[in-house]
Each structure stands twice: as structure tokens, then as C-alpha cells.
Amino acid sequence: MIESPTGKVIVVDGGGNPGTDERLGRDPGNYVVVPYLRSRGISTVDLIVPTHPDEDHVQGLNAVVARLNVRAALDGGYPAASPAYQRLMTTLSRRHIPIHLARRPNRIDIGGGAFLEVLAPGETPIRGSHSATNNNSIVLRVVYDKARFLLTGDAEAEEEEEIMATAPDIGSDVLKAGHHGSRWSTSDAFLFRVHPTLAIISCGKNNLYNHPHREMLQRLARNNVRILRTDQNGGVIIETDGATIQVTPTIIDPGKRGSD
């Protein structure tokens, strides 16, 4: 969730529990995202961004649309069959919520001098890659004065290469590592260009894919990037005045929690 200097709220992905139906209420949208937004007094979301149609990203956005007031959506337009994504698109059009197509190099004003840059997808989808849906993720850079944050969805090395070839500057202070810390994402070349001081890996505890992968953690370590992981550190809150950046993980010392 991004909150701009003028209070605009953007929700990029909503989590999900693949194989379950969010209409039963047992998904991160219903039990994490919506309660968190409500706890901050937020009832209106200015923009939702499904980075790509996979259930683990889109499902929770259905809860956001069902239970809060959503003004608009930014969509990659990649054809996909995931049931949660189809439900989302149906609800948006039934409610006449505008859906904007994300295309490089869109620049979206979010108020107070802050903006979102769309670094991907471009006009032509990436084909023949390791994963077509992942490699057509919406990739956003959030820019507020000197502070920059890169949100990569589930982009893998192929999409990272295209971004490096098309964007003049992708330098960022904080990198949301691609695809839950997969070995297929966050290449050495990409890390060199982004040059982050902090990487945040969004991954479930004891997940089926063994994310984050060791090779990828080693790449971050080699590049002296500090690592926070949602399976160990919980949610991560970052505040900036455009010059300095303050990082607050909700679980500061995971070791103290034991091995629950």
C-alpha cells in the first residue's frame, strides 16, 4: 500500500491463497489487507494495481473492491484465465470503475510531487520467457523527490532485461524483490543498475516453492543489500520526506519469536 503526501491511496496487489475462493473470506485480502486499511481509517482506495493475473496477487484485491470504495484500477491487459482475476475484472466493469491500461512510459501523478512511473509492460508483450504472466508484470517505480522505490511484481530476468534496455534510470533506494525471491528474478545486472540499499522479499512462511531461493539471497549479499523478508519480519512500513527513509519492520527480531 502506498499513501502519497496528499493522502492518495494505491494498493499494489492484494495477496492470495491459490486454490481457495476469496468469497469464503479466508484470504489475505479479507484478513490482512482490508483490516489494515480500515485500521488506518482508509475507506477509499484511489487506485488498485493487479501487477499480473496470478491468484496470489489478485485474489485479495477482490476483497478490497468488495469492502472498500475503489476509484480506479491500473491493469496490464495481459490475457489470463485465473478465476480471481476474471472475478475482479467483472466486478470493476459492473461497478463502472475505470480500468486504465499500464504501458511504459506512463507517469501517474499521485499528489504532492510524488508519482508512479510505469517501467513495464511495454506495447509488445514479452513472449517465450520462463513465465509469460510473470514477465508481463506491471513494474512501478514510486518517486518522491530523491526517494525511489521499485515494485517489480513477479518480474523475472527477461522482464528485468527489457526494463534495463528501455528505462534511462531505474536507480532505487528500496527494491521489492521480484517473484517472492525466486532464483529467476533479481539478476546481478539488474541489482547493479537498481543499486538498492534495501530489498524486501514478500514470501510466505514455509511456502511450497522454497522462496526465497538461496542463489538470490547470495546475490543480494554480494551486492551489500540489506534484506527484510515478510516471512520473518512481517509487514514493512517505510516513511520518507523525499530525502531520508525510515524503515520499520513489524517484527524487528524474528529470532525472539521462536520457530512457530
Per CB under 5 A, residues contacting Zn ion are 56, 154
CA neighbor of 80 nearest in space, from 97, 107, 58: 58
C-beta of 156 vs 173, nearer to Zn ion? 156
Report residue 259: phi and psi, to 5°. Answer: -115, 55
Instruction: Give the nearest distance from C-beta 204 to Zn ion in angstroms.
Output: 10
User: What minimum distance in Å lies between the beta carbon of 157 and Zn ion?
Assistant: 16
| CA diameter of the chain | 49
What's phi and psi for 231, nearest 5 deg? Answer: -70, -20
Decide: 69 and 172 in contact? Cβ < 8 Å. Answer: no
Least distance between Zn ion and beta carbon 57 (Å): 5
Minimum CB separation of residue 87 from Zn ion in Å reads 18
Taking the C-alpha atoms of residue 172 and residue 194, their distance in angstroms, rounded to an integer, is 5
Indicate the SS3 state at residue 23: helix
CB of 255 to Zn ion, least distance (A): 27
CA-closest candidate to residue 178, choices 152, 140, 148, 209? 152
Q: Is the peptide bond before 121 cis (omega within 30 degrees of 0)?
A: yes
Give CA–CA dist 73/12, Å, rounded: 10
d(CA 86, CA 55): 10
Please state the closest distance from residue 137 (CB atom) to Zn ion, in A: 9
Q: Give whichever of 56 and 160 is closer to Zn ion, judged by the CB atom.
A: 56
Which residue's CB is nearer to Zn ion, number 202 or number 240?
Answer: 202
What does 143-169 look like in DSSP terms, one character per residue? EETTEEEEE-TT--HHHHHHHHHH-S-
Q: Which is nearer to Zn ion, 36 or 209 (CB)?
A: 209
Choice between 27 and 56, CB closer to Zn ion: 56
Q: Give the nearer residue to Zn ion in terms of CB position, either 4 or 133.
A: 133
Closest separation in Å from C-beta 43 to Zn ion: 27
Return the number of the residue (16 or 249) whose C-beta is nearest Zn ion: 16
